[in-house]
Amino acid sequence: MAETFDVVDIIRTKRDKGTLTNPEIDWVIDAYTRGAVAEEQMSALAMAVLLNGLSGEELATWTAAMIASGERLDLSGVTRPTADKHSTGGVGDKITLPLAPLVAACGVAVPQLSGRGLGHTGGTLDKLESIPGWRAQVSNADFVRQLNDVGAVVCAAGDGLAPADKKLYALRDVTGTVESIDLIASSIMSKKIAEGSHALVLDVKVGSGAFMKDLDRARRLAETMVGLGTAHGVKTVALLTDMDTPLGRTAGHALEVAESLEVLAGGGPADVVELTLALAREMLAAAGVDADPADALSDGRAMDVWRAMISAQGGDPEAPLPVAPEKHVVTAPESGVLSRLDALSVGVATWRLGAGRARKEDTVSAGAGVVMLAKQGDTVTAGQPLFELHADDPTRFERALAALEGGFTIGGTLESRPLIIDRVD
């Protein structure tokens, strides 16, 4: 870039609630990616953005600059329409696993670049890596080939995709600037737009186990991301979905894969099936394909695509999944209705059992996790098993049990809201 700016002037402008010009934003994102803007300078700018926000035009330019920092995947060689899904993360959120093959079975290609878990929320790649042989890395050429041959790819994003976001994401994590809606929206959407899909459906989680605890902030994030996608020519819609209580009956990698297979076989928990079908219908509509995804679950086509998708990435879809050697059962202390089952408590327990990581470089246990033998709204009797904890090491049970303490209520008023709270387009 020929034009250069003084980064301190840019920081001051945003600190004093001013508006940055398009060339200033283009320059600062590029210079930061190249290392010409120091980490402490970018952290000051990120804090100014957190405190004072970005205008609509600033945010669109900021996101475009993040996309321009790397490559854009070229999906022009894909013969079907494409649609992608992104979830902001939750507890027991295994929806991508049945969703990608289901949508592919209905005639839409699903290019799904996914991530790993951090903290109490599980990552899609960690779940899939519990399948023997499955690999997360796929070259760009194989990515397009698999989309044409199988219809769905779930894999890790390459280093060339929005490298500015990779740097900025790590910086936000250690500077108290993660919560900025503008920075969250540009982080998610820069990667998703660079992915090259025609359509995008966002699953914005709300509640105790979600990043967004508050409905108003979640709605603002959804509206911001939908606006960014639309501005970049990607048909984008968002569903606001409940994450006060976990999705399904399992939290933990191999446990969630097994539950996803139940869904693909035409069974599985009602909430997982409901959300999978709702997101599938949105993806198909956004891609312009008229099909009923429920048919592809019941007739086995989605399961066929799952097997092909896993095999294409080196996995053995018939291999037994890892099982943790140690188990501990938690029983109901009294009889009554399970009126509250808190997603965050279950998520933290799952993490402490070995399924989560505190730092990116930590390894995770494939078999660790929580099986919820009763769900919110169920009637239970004293002594009935409520949870089954799975771990590789029995010393992990004590801290997991501490996380679950106070995480559920028997008796009292049933606390619940619809799974799908709202839709933003």
Catalytic site residue 396? no
Over 60: is that where the pLDDT of 1 sits?
no
The pair of structure tokens assigned to 156 is 């890790």
Distances (CA, A) of 250 to 105, 337, 395: 25, 20, 21
The residue extents of the domains of the chain are: 7-68, 83-159+174-312, 326-410
Q: What is the tens place of the pLDDT at every residue in 299-334?
A: 999 999 999 999 999 999 999 999 999 999 999 999
137-146 mean pLDDT: 95
Catalytic site residue 167? no
- Catalytic pick among 120, 166, 167, 172: 172
- For tokens 């079907």, name the residue: 80
Catalytic site residue 205? no
Provide the mean pLDDT of the chain: 95
Distance of alpha carbon 358 from alpha carbon 116, whole angstroms: 12
The pair of structure tokens assigned to 168 is 């900025």
- Cα-atom radius of gyration of the chain, to the nearest Å? 22
Fold (CATH) for 326-410: Aldehyde Oxidoreductase; domain 3 (3.90.1170)
Over 90: is that where the pLDDT of 119 sits?
no
Fold (CATH) for 7-68: 1.20.970
Q: What single DSSP character describes residue 393?
A: S
Encoded amino acid at 194, one letter: A
Distance of alpha carbon 99 from alpha carbon 257, whole angstroms: 12
- Residue 162, phi-psi category: left (phi > 0), alpha (psi -120 to 50), beta (remainder): left
- For tokens 């956004």, name the residue: 286
- Catalytic pick among 43, 180, 187, 197: 187
pLDDT at 163: 94
Distance of alpha carbon 263 from alpha carbon 306, whole angstroms: 11
Catalytic site residue 9? no
Fold (CATH) for 83-159+174-312: Pyrimidine Nucleoside Phosphorylase; Chain A, domain 2 (3.40.1030)
Q: What pTM was computed for the model?
A: 0.95
- Catalytic pick among 85, 86, 166, 249: 86
Distance of alpha carbon 309 from alpha carbon 181, whole angstroms: 34
Catalytic site residue 149? no
Q: What is the tens place of the pLDDT at every residue in 202-218?
A: 999 999 999 999 999 99
Domains 83-159+174-312 and 326-410 share a fold: no
- Half-sphere exposure of 243 toward its Cβ, with a 13 Å CA cutoff? 30
- Catalytic pick among 165, 182, 242, 244: 165
Distance of alpha carbon 203 from alpha carbon 351, whole angstroms: 22
| Contact of 217 with 240, CB cutoff 8 Å | no
pLDDT at 47: 98
Encoded amino acid at 356, one letter: G
DSSP 282-305: HHHHHHT----HHHHHHTSHHHHH
Distance of alpha carbon 229 from alpha carbon 78, whole angstroms: 20
- Catalytic pick among 14, 94, 120, 191: 191
Distances (CA, A) of 108 to 21, 272, 281: 39, 21, 11
Cα–Cα nearest to 115, from 62, 158, 58: 158
